[in-house]
Amino acid sequence: MTSKDTVTWLQERTALGVLSAEVLEAIAQLLEEKVVPAQTTLVAEETPPEGLYILKQGQLEGDSLSETLRERANQTGLAWVISFLPGATIHLQELLLDQQAQRTIKTLSECTLWFIPAEQFRKIVAQYPEITQAFSQRLAQELAQLSSQLNYEQERQTALRPYLVAKARRGVVGKSRYAVRLRQQIKEAAESRRPVLIFGEPGLEKDNTAALVHFGSSYRREPIVKVDCSTLQASGAELFGRASGKPGLIESLGTGTLVLNNIQELPPELTPKLAQLLETNTYTPLSRSEDSPAPSRSCQARIMMIAEKHLPTIERQVGHLIKVPPLRVRKADIEDQVEYYIRLFCRAKGTRKPKVAPEAIRRLQAYDFPGNLKELQSLVERALVQCAGANLLTEEVFWSVETHKKRFRVNLLNAYPDLRRFLRSSWWPDRINYGFTLGAFALVVALLFLGPQHRSENVALNLFWAWWWPLILIGFPFVGRLWCAVCPFMIYGEVTQKLSQWLFPGRSLKRWPRQSAEKWGGWFLFGLFVLIYLWEELWHLEDTAYLSACLLLLITAGAMIFSAIFERRFWCRYLCPIGGMNGLFAKLSMTELRAQQGTCSAECTTYQCYKGGPQKGEGLETGGCPLYSHPAQLEDNKDCVLCMTCLKACPHRSVELNLRPPGIELWTTHIPQGSEVALLMLLLGGVYLHRLPELQSTLGLHLDLTQFWQHFGFSLVALIVPATVPFLAYSAIKLFKGSVKPRSFIELAYGYLPLVLGANLAHYWRLGLGEAGRILPLTMATFGLSGEGLPVLVAHPAVIEFLQGTTLIFSLLLTMLLTQKIARQSFRALLPQHLGAIALFVSLWAIIVR
């Protein structure tokens, strides 16, 4: 390049272009060309400049400032990293003012530079005073401009400081799919400048989500402010400013981010202005005169809004909609959240970080956290304060975490570890079923067919009517459907199922027709129970051994047939008449099998308790729940036979066997069904059916019950008429309802459940206490031997009557109490149903307690 070309280049491309051609010609004569490799430090900060550099080709970067300028840049939020492009002059100011180098400058690429040593440049400056004059004036202008900028920045920072968000407090903690999706939504929102609406329940740190969007964007160095909409003036002066006065936050922000917190509390007067801002990205400052409004201004700031509910009018105007999921659906993240809060607290206090017991995590996962993250953080911090210095946080320190579903419950498996071990062992129920019940049932049926045919001579008949019926009725309030776990009907059904698959290896069992079974199964077993009742009464099954055997075999045949067709225990869940009765009375039980919903949703991915599967951790290999019930979704005891398959399969210790208030599900989570109410009314009528002679005597009738059709007609009347009392009582409730709408009949009908159970038990007290104690001589008599001299334990008739009366009285009181709990209405509003229960009680007393 010739000297003339160099002068032209300096005039057009560099800050030296303000000088005359003569001065530039003198400078051009002194230029030395240097080539510097990439990533080389050209100048070190706070060192004397070696000379004047002019970048001819390549790219340089200065990555620091002097301490004073850096401090000022920090206050204003300005960047202190600067890039140099071709034409840049380096050390001009330092050489003119005799200063140290202000920046460390490195080459980003291979650079070609012109260089004049410092001593030679000072001689040129001394020779040509024009240089000092030209650049002194320019430096003064730059200083004035910088001073003006700093003053503006100070005013801006003063306006923004009360609302500034310094940083995001934390990222999104957790690995659940909800956490992953939230991170993805934040990332997508950070990649654009479109308005964002963030909504969710209280306590979810939605403002922190907004901060994550801002600091994850390319405008992270710009300020972000948060304004509570409930504190804004109706005029909106804080946001939009005044046309000839103080600027608003939007103007002061520049290209920063404005977060409008609690947007649902925005003054109605500002709604049209916010709509204009979102739609057109413009706003109108306030004007002193309404007749001459100020012109609209463009908004460079990004708008984010935070709400605690859906806002359809705003949702249509935003570019990104982020729903922050509540903690109750992010149970899988609770353990990570707890660990994070513990680490945060211990670091701040300088204490040792304790571990958290798995039981404590499961307890936290079982809680729904209405206060979400803030509540969880508060609980963790309180636990750490209570257990200062402890190495382990146990579940007891989180005692306040109690859901409504877990209230008044005691997990017997935790209280009695030996009980857990037994229920998880092969003894329950498989060894009992296949080692005892399978053979014992066959023996009982054989004795009923082959032995003496009267109850006074056949031990099997005595076991069935005098032992089994009273014991199972007594067991319902304590252990629910426990009998179904060792029921011989289904054991033979399982044997049939296994044999059919062994004999026909390629055949697969059918899936359940759930929809049809849910709709008609209850009515099917109701019909079976009607037939059983009539058969039992008309053919005297209580005292006819072979007919009792036929009844047992018919129920067993149903279980075997349906087990050969359908998978698992279809008969047990939907069609078995005894199972239907057991499920109905099990609702009154003081025990329940449930699972911790939080643990299941947070930790379980295999659903082994429901589907079955191989051994996993603590969970054993099983075929899954035989009734296709998931313990975390159980709402009552009807669909659980306490086989403990889920307890054995669960690797997370989620399954619980709880002690609870008896029948609590009936007034909390219960879903009434018409077929169940029909069965309940049938079981009530069954008590009257069993007492036909006493009923005839009480009513003064003289029917010949040895005549089939008279017996049949009277039996139907005994089954049907008692059910009319609850209907009449409910009609009276509706007639005198007043302003309070009563609950439906099928809901209130469950209030009679204790009375029906008590009436059946009172009936069977006579057999249980009057005949069950004769089992030893009866055993001998069954095999044709004399049982004289063997002990006999029977109660005095007065004792039996006392227990029958006491049972009925308690049943009546519990019925009235349960009715009140279910209805949640005044005693006076439910008086007709209480009177109906009393009427039934009086009639039952008359035919049972004699």
DSSP string, 306-371: EESS--HHHHTT-SEEEEPPPGGG-GGGHHHHHHHHHHHHHHHHT-PPPEE-HHHHHHHHTS--TT
Average pLDDT, integer, range 16-38:
88
HEC string for 261-288? ECHHHCCHHHHHHHHHHHHHCEECCECC
DSSP string, 740-795: SPPPPHHHHGGGGHHHHHHHHHHHHHHHHHHTGGGHHHHHHHHTT---TTS-----
**Alpha-carbon distance 249 to 283, whole Å?**
12
Average pLDDT, integer, range 633-639:
89
CB count within 10 Å of CB 271 equals: 13
Q: How far is CA 89 from the centre of its chain?
A: 64
* Integer CA distances (angstroms), 123 to 30, 51, 129, 304, 396, in order: 11, 12, 11, 59, 84
Q: Yes or no: say if 112 and 57 are a contact pair by the CB < 8 Å rule.
A: yes
Question: What are the tens digits of pLDDT across the range 273-320?
Answer: 888 898 888 998 888 766 567 788 899 999 999 998 888 878 888 889
Question: What are the tens digits of pLDDT across the range 221-256?
Answer: 899 999 999 888 888 888 888 887 788 888 888 889
Question: What are the tens digits of pLDDT across the range 133-187?
Answer: 888 777 777 777 777 777 777 777 888 888 889 899 999 999 999 999 999 999 9
Average pLDDT, integer, range 781-799:
91
Does pLDDT of 65 surpass 60?
no
DSSP string, 441-491: HHHHHHHHHHS-SSTTT-HHHHIIIIIIHHHHHHHHHHHTTHHHHT-HHHH
Name the pLDDT band for 78 (thresholds 50, 70, 90). very low
**Alpha-carbon distance 232 to 258, whole Å?**
14
**Alpha-carbon distance 578 to 195, whole Å?**
63
Burial 95-129 (b: 16+ CB within 10 A, else e): bbeeeebbbbbbbeeebebbbbebebbbebbeebe
For the chain, the first-to-last Cα distance in angstroms comes to: 131
Q: Is 782 exposed, middle or buried (0-12, 13-18, 19+ CB in 10 A)?
A: buried
What's the DSSP call for residue 801? H
Tell me, what's the pLDDT at 80?
52
Locate tokens 């291979």: which residue?
Answer: 110
The predicted model scores a pTM of 0.70
CB count within 10 Å of CB 344 equals: 15
Does pLDDT of 74 surpass 60?
no
Tell me the two tokens of residue 220. Answer: 């992270």
Q: Yes or no: say if 647 and 610 are a contact pair by the CB < 8 Å rule.
A: no
